[in-house]
Structures are given as C-alpha cells and as structure tokens.
Structure 1
Amino acid sequence: MEFVLYFVLILLFTKIAGDLSVRLGQPAVLGKLVIGIVLGPAVLGWIQGGSFIEQFAEIGVLLLMFIAGLETDLNQLKQNWKPAFAVAVGGVILPFVGGYGVGELFGLNHGPALFMGVLFSATSVSISVQVLKEMNKLNTREGTTILGAAVVDDVLVVILLAVLTSFLGAGTGVSLGGLIGKMALFFAIVLLAGWSIVPKALQWLSKLRVSEPVIAIALVLCFAFAYLGELLGMAGIIGSFAAGIAISQTPFGHEVEKKVEPIAYAVFVPVFFVSIGLNVSFKGVGEQIGFLIALTLMAVLTKLLGGALGAKLTGFNNKSSLIIGSGMVSRGEVALIIAATGLQTGLLLPEYFTSVIIAIILTTLVAPPLLKIVFKEPEAGKSTL
C-alpha cells in the first residue's frame, strides 16, 4: 500500500505548493514542480520513483496534451503554420550548435558532444501549456504557434536522434528511411482518422446505454492515438494532442473537455509534475558545477533566442517573439526520455547523466516564471502578422 501513501502526499502537497506559488505571484505549476524536488530523493526522500509514478505520470502528460488539443483553435493553428515551422527550426539549430559547443568545450568526444546538441534541441511544451492555460492565453497567436512549433520540433529532433544513433549509437539498428516512412504513415492515419473515423465513432458509440460513453470513447481515442504515435516513432504526446484536436471539431468537444479536466487535474497531472522533480539528485554535482552552469545557460538562451528569432522573422513583434521563445524553453519529459536513450546507446556518458538531468529540470523550472514575466508586458498577445 506504499503507493497509496505516495498518492496522498502528491495530491495534498501539489495543491498546497501550487497555491503558495500563486500567492507569490508565480504560476501554480512552478510550485508543483518544486514540491516534486522537495518530496523526492534530492531533499526529503518521502517519495521514490517507480512503476506507479512513471505510469501515472505518463497518463498525466498524455491527458494534459489531450486537453490542450481540445482547447486549440484549429483555424488559428492553420494560420500560424509558417511561424510555427520557423520557430521550430530556429529552436533546433541554435540549441544543437550550443549543445555541441558546450560538449566540445568540456572535452567530450565528437559523438557525445553531438548528442548534447540533439538532446537540448528537444522541446516539451506540456509545462508551457499549463502556464498558458492558467493565464488564459492558450488560444492566442503566441499559444497556437508554440503548440504548432512543438509538433515540428518533435519531428526534427526524432530524425536527428535517429541519424546520430544510426551512425554512432551502440546496437540501435535504427533505419532513417524506415523512421521517416513511419512518421509519414502516422500523420496520414491521424489526418484520415480525425476527418472521418473520430466523428463517426463518437456519434455511434455515444448511443451506448452505459454511463459516460462519450468520455470513455474520447479517452480510448486519446490513448490509442498516443500509442500509435509511439509505435510509429513519434512522441505519445503528439498523438494525444492530435486526438484532442480531432475531437474538438465534433459536437462532443466541449463535453469531453469539461469532463476530462477534473479527471486529469485531480488525479494524473499532479503525479506528472512531481515525477519531474523525482529525477533530481545532487550526487557528484559539485565536481561538475561549471559544466552544469554552462549547460543550463546554453539550454535556456539558445532555445529562447532560436524560438524568438523564428517568430520575429515571420512577423511577430518583439514581445510576442519573446513569449514564443520562452514557451519553447522547457525540455521536460521529452529530453528526459532522450537522455535515457543516450545512456542506453553509449552516447551520453554515465558520469555526465546527473548534470544533464539537473540542467533539463532547471529549464523546466525556468519556463513558468519566464512566461509570466514576458506576458505581463502590455504588448504581449498583440502580434503583427
């Protein structure tokens, strides 16, 4: 029954920490992330990672992105595909060069240095999505551009990772052509399903004489799309986000959003926030403090500037460009997964693993207050395209 105690601690302390964070003028999500570090092995050690935490956290992040899809204005997303692509490209190139540069500067071999570049090119907007939701900014041009850029970024980083592991990784057997083919198949299936299968499935299955058939089927679609994404080389969160968008275009979109949010935010999402903090360990960090500082500064600045530059070149004003760049800073669970992959393939050296994980966590902690600061400016939200 230890997992029940963990559950009690997570649900109680995330709410308290979130409230305290808001009282201090910060987004609630910042407090929830910090409490994960406090409750975890790095400080109090009350909660340890394990299969329960990992599985609930995975469901939490999938639901978080599913809700983001439900709330996304598809027309706005279509209108902003060019800026989203530019932001993604800028947010990959600069961190890739910066990560490789830091690796070379601290004496890493060519392969591990390249992996640093790929690792910090990743973006996880799940934290930014939560901040934008708290501020009621998810459907601004900035918000939809961030979401669109995250999808493109995921594709680019997965391709880069496949190229790197194909040539330098140990025992991966990754086929680049096969991976690109799988990605193309994923998007083809998602578009076809979103256009024809999802509306008909919801319409037909909503007539089942059982409790909450619409919500049950919506969750089936969310997790089925996520599983398909993972199966075909994409991140599961892209699949759940796509499922949310597809359902939002049906008459059931509002009902699903209204009823899924309490399930997600009361049970699964708090576990996801805490799980990020559980990855922090300060063991051996003192010996690599220079490397950690350089890596963190590089990670924040290159993604911020790369995303902002892409936005600026496609017509956004200065403040809106900074908002978009800030929204791309968090590496979150995507980078944590890539780091684990690097460790398995020998591209991330074990002695650097702790510093890399802490740098990833720090980018995730920086993103919420950074977004809050830039959105306070009066120009924010009024982009010029």
Structure 2
Amino acid sequence: MSFLGTLCILLLATTLAGHFSHRIGIPAVIGEILVGVVLGPAIFNLVHLTNLVQTFSDLGVIVLMFIGGLESNLALLKKYLRPAIGVAVIGVVFPVLIMGGVSHFFNFTWFESLFIGVIFSATSVSISVEVLKEFKALDTKEGATILGAAVADDIIGVILLSIMISMMGDKSGGAQPALWLVLLEQAAFFVGVFLLTRWIAPALMRLSNHLLMAVSPTIMSVIICLAMAWLAETVGLSGAIGAFFAGTAIAQTDYQHQVDVSIEPVGYTIFIPIFFVSVGLNMTFEGFWQSLPFVAVMTVLGVLTKLLGCGLGAKLNGFNAHSNYLVGAGMISRGEMALITAQIGFSAHLLSSNYYSDVILVIILVTMIAPFVLKDAIHRAPATRPSV
C-alpha cells in the first residue's frame, strides 16, 4: 500500500476511533493507539511503521509538545519548579530500584536489570499533555508540576543512560562522548532556552511581522520549534523537550494566540494522530504467552512505580491527596521516551534481543493504561486553578 493510501486509512480510522472514544467516555488517544494495534502487526498486519510513518510520528510528538508549551503558563511552571524536581527524582528512583530489582528475578543479569529500570524511569509527557488538554487541566498547578517533572525526568534519564553506555566500553560499537561533555552541552542548551525566551524569540517574532509572507509569524514559530528540537537532540535530549521550550518562549510574545490557532489545526489534522497510531504499531504479540508473567508483573510495576513514586514526591512538597494522585497519574505514561531509551540501549548491547520485544510490549501496555488513570485522577480532583 502506498504511503498516501496508508495515511488516508489511518486518518479516517483515527477520526472514527476518536469520535467513538468520546462517545463512550474514554480519552481519544486510547482509540487512536488502538487503531495502530488493530491495523498493525499485532492483529491484522495491514499497516507497518515505515520510515515515512515514523517521520510523521516524530513530527507529531514535536508539534504536540510545541502546542503544550504554547498553552502552558510559564509563571506557573516557575512557581512549581521545586516540587517538579522532587517529583522527578523520586519518580526516577522508584522504577530504577523496584523494576530493576524485580527484573533480576526473571533471569536478567544485574546490568540488564539496571538498564530496564532506567528505561522505565523515563516519562512521555506528550500523551499526558493531550489528556490534560482534553479535560482543560493543563494550566493548573498539577499540570505545571507534571510538565516540569517530565523535563527533569528526561534529563536524569539521559544522564543515567549515558553512564550505562560509558560503562559498556567497546561493546557499544564505537566511542562514546565523555559524560562531562554531555552534561556541559545540556547545560549550554538550557542557557540557550533562557536566551531564547528572554530575547531571541521576541525579536524573531517581531521581525517576522515585517516579512511579506502570509502567516509569517507562524512560519517563524515553526522554524524556532524545529531548531530547538534539533538542538535538543544534538545534546542528547528528546526533541520533544526542545519543542516544548520553543512553545513556552513563543507563549511569552504577543503572537501566542495567532500561532496557537494556526498550528493546532495542522497538528491535529495529520501529525499528532499518526504519533498515537505509531505507539500501537510498535506492539506485537509474538511469544506473548511465554513472556506473560514478566509482561504482567512489569506492567503493574510500570504503573505503580510512577503513580506512587511521583505521588509521594508531590506529597512531600505539600500537595493534597487529590493532587498527589493527579501528579502521579500524569507521570505514568512512558511512550516515545521509553521506546527511544530502549532502542538506544539495545543498539549499545545493554539489552539482549531475546527480551527487547517483551520490554517494548510492557512500555506500550503501560502507555495505554496511563490515560485511563489520568482521566480518573482529573475527575476526582477539585476543578480549581491557582492564581499566579
């Protein structure tokens, strides 16, 4: 099937799946992920994760996180930075220790077990952003904490992955950059984020308004978004993180609303649905029954380590019980961050091919469960918005 035909089928299927998901009261992203499961290798094997589908999926993550940054309250993010870091640290420690320790009892080596813990320390906030947006809970103290914690979580995960690859030495298939150099590059990236927000983005957006092009401010914002995503990937972070900070920078200018109303239809028309479909396309049930005990135990732990660990981090920072539950639920999803970490580690021989597909299956199952838990947490939390 040609790519255009595949794209047509996927967009039709995700539109219908999202519609019926809303009708039965579940987040639309679940229906879109299930489209990938049903049409992909797991069931009917009609659609595969080709290079073009993967490219559209990668752009979907970037656009979704850019929109999340555009609609985020920077003052709120700053206000809840401290609890976000606390949530992130405990949310990394719990999976590394608990899921890593339990993995050892399934005949993994200690090194492989530790790496599995690192994989599940990652958080994919993109799916949580979509659910929070759907239920109008993104611009809250809990939403700000989840976003901030996910950024810190990503940085910690990259550092842990860099350390593990460095420990592998020559087995990684090539020379790896020194850890101090990786940390220095990432520090330089965040200095760049500050400069972008304070001076660069406002100047570029003002300049774009004088260009003789239709929707030139929107074009300039996309350039900034892609540039930041590229820079983030260059220093070893997720491109989604760069896109998110690009969005927060544009949000501080006078062009925030204009860009938001221009970008959102493009993202939700084509790129973002393909991202959610790609999560389901990664699923396969090959060898499922033999791996069922491992998959079942790790799926439960994948949910609980973030729910309880990040909830504890929120509690230690003075959040109430409803907020603890909401923050913990918002950090459950692993999605593309865990998939990327698993793929990098697999390529670096941190995990054998015998167990790679099982780990991928657990990541996808946890990611599919996460929106249900988050929706329940949102409905239980009081509908309040703090003033800042």
- TM class by smaller structure: over 0.9
Is residue 64–residue 264 contact of structure 1 (8 Å, CA) maintained in 2?
A: yes
Deviation, 1:116, is 0.6
Residue 206 of structure 2 corresponds to which residue in structure 1? 203
SS at the partner of 1:56? helix
Q: CA RMSD in A?
A: 1.5
Is residue 81–residue 145 contact of structure 1 (8 Å, CA) maintained in 2?
A: yes
Deviation, 1:174, is 3.5
1:301 aligns with 2:309: no
SS at the partner of 2:244? helix
Tell me the alpha carbon deviations over residues 243-290 of structure 1, each in whole angstroms, 9 at most, x when there is no partner.
000000000011000110000000110110101110001111211111
Is residue 17–residue 31 contact of structure 1 (8 Å, CA) maintained in 2?
A: yes
Deviation, 1:292, is 0.7
Distance change >3 Å, CA 105–CA 23, structure 1 → 2:
same
Deviation, 1:168, is 2.4
Is residue 40–residue 48 contact of structure 1 (8 Å, CA) maintained in 2?
A: yes
1:75 aligns with 2:84: no
1:212 aligns with 2:215: yes
Residue 188 of structure 1 corresponds to which residue in structure 2? 191
Identity %: 43
Give, as a single letter, the amino acid of the residue that structure 2 aligns with 1:146. Answer: I
Residue 274 of structure 1 corresponds to which residue in structure 2? 277
Deviation, 1:373, is 0.9
Q: Give me the TM-score of the superposition, normalised by structure 1.
A: 0.97
Equivalent of 2:287 in 269, 284, 287: 284
Is residue 323–residue 381 contact of structure 2 (8 Å, CA) maintained in 1?
A: no
Instruction: Supply the distance in 2 between the matched residues of 1:243 and 1:206 (Cα, whole angstroms).
Output: 18
SS at the partner of 1:250? coil
Point out where structure 1 has 5 or more consecutive residues left out of the alignment: none
Give, as a single letter, the amino acid of the residue that structure 1 aligns with 2:248. Answer: I
Give, as a single letter, the amino acid of the residue that structure 2 aligns with 1:335. Answer: A
Instruction: Supply the distance in 2 between the matched residues of 1:129 and 1:111 (Cα, whole angstroms).
Output: 33
SS at the partner of 1:228? helix
SS at the partner of 2:45? coil
Q: Give me the TM-score of the superposition, normalised by structure 2.
A: 0.97
Is residue 139–residue 385 contact of structure 2 (8 Å, CA) maintained in 1?
A: no
Distance change >3 Å, CA 174–CA 107, structure 1 → 2:
farther
SS at the partner of 1:18? helix
Tell me the alpha carbon deviations over residues 38-63 of structure 1, each in whole angstroms, 9 at most, x when there is no partner.
11111111211111011000111000
Residue 230 of structure 2 corresponds to which residue in structure 1? 227
Instruction: Supply the distance in 2 between the matched residues of 1:137 and 1:166 (Cα, whole angstroms).
Output: 40
Give, as a single letter, the amino acid of the residue that structure 2 aligns with 1:267. Answer: I
Is residue 74–residue 248 contact of structure 2 (8 Å, CA) maintained in 1?
A: yes
Tell me the alpha carbon deviations over residues 214-262 of structure 1, each in whole angstroms, 9 at most, x when there is no partner.
1111100000000000001211111000000000000001100011000
Residue 352 of structure 2 corresponds to which residue in structure 1? 349
Tell me the alpha carbon deviations over residues 175-208 of structure 1, each in whole angstroms, 9 at most, x when there is no partner.
1111100110100111112211111111012211
Distance change >3 Å, CA 335–CA 381, structure 1 → 2:
farther
Deviation, 1:381, is 4.8
Instruction: Supply the distance in 1 between the matched residues of 2:287 and 2:380 (Cα, whole angstroms).
Output: 40
Residue 48 of structure 2 corresponds to which residue in structure 1? 48
Residue 248 of structure 1 corresponds to which residue in structure 2? 251
Instruction: Supply the distance in 1 between the matched residues of 2:215 and 2:157 (Cα, whole angstroms).
Output: 38
Is residue 307–residue 332 contact of structure 2 (8 Å, CA) maintained in 1?
A: yes
Equivalent of 1:333 in 322, 336, 339: 336
Is residue 137–residue 378 contact of structure 2 (8 Å, CA) maintained in 1?
A: no
Instruction: Supply the distance in 2 between the matched residues of 1:164 and 1:43 (Cα, whole angstroms).
Output: 35
Alignment of 1:91-110 (within 5 A): 91-110=91-110
Is residue 323–residue 375 contact of structure 1 (8 Å, CA) maintained in 2?
A: yes
Instruction: Supply the distance in 1 between the matched residues of 2:188 and 2:33 (Cα, whole angstroms).
Output: 35
Instruction: Supply the distance in 1 between the matched residues of 2:160 and 2:271 (Cα, whole angstroms).
Output: 31
Tell me the alpha carbon deviations over residues 283-324 of structure 1, each in whole angstroms, 9 at most, x when there is no partner.
112111111111111111001111100001001101110100
Tell me the alpha carbon deviations over residues 114-137 of structure 1, each in whole angstroms, 9 at most, x when there is no partner.
101100000001000000000011
Task: Figure out how many residues of one structure are paired with residues of the other and give that number.
Answer: 385
Instruction: Supply the distance in 2 between the matched residues of 1:329 and 1:244 (Cα, whole angstroms).
Output: 23
Deviation, 1:379, is 3.5
Instruction: Supply the distance in 2 between the matched residues of 1:222 and 1:149 (Cα, whole angstroms).
Output: 21
Instruction: Supply the distance in 2 between the matched residues of 1:378 and 1:335 (Cα, whole angstroms).
Output: 28
Tell me the alpha carbon deviations over residues 80-100 of structure 1, each in whole angstroms, 9 at most, x when there is no partner.
001101110111000111221
Residue 2 of structure 1 corresponds to which residue in structure 2? 2
SS at the partner of 2:375? helix
Point out where structure 2 has 5 or more consecutive residues left out of the alignment: none
SS at the partner of 1:15? helix
Tell me the alpha carbon deviations over residues 310-358 of structure 1, each in whole angstroms, 9 at most, x when there is no partner.
0010011011101000000000001001111111111111111111111
Is residue 320–residue 381 contact of structure 1 (8 Å, CA) maintained in 2?
A: no
Give, as a single letter, the amino acid of the residue that structure 2 aligns with 1:58. Answer: D
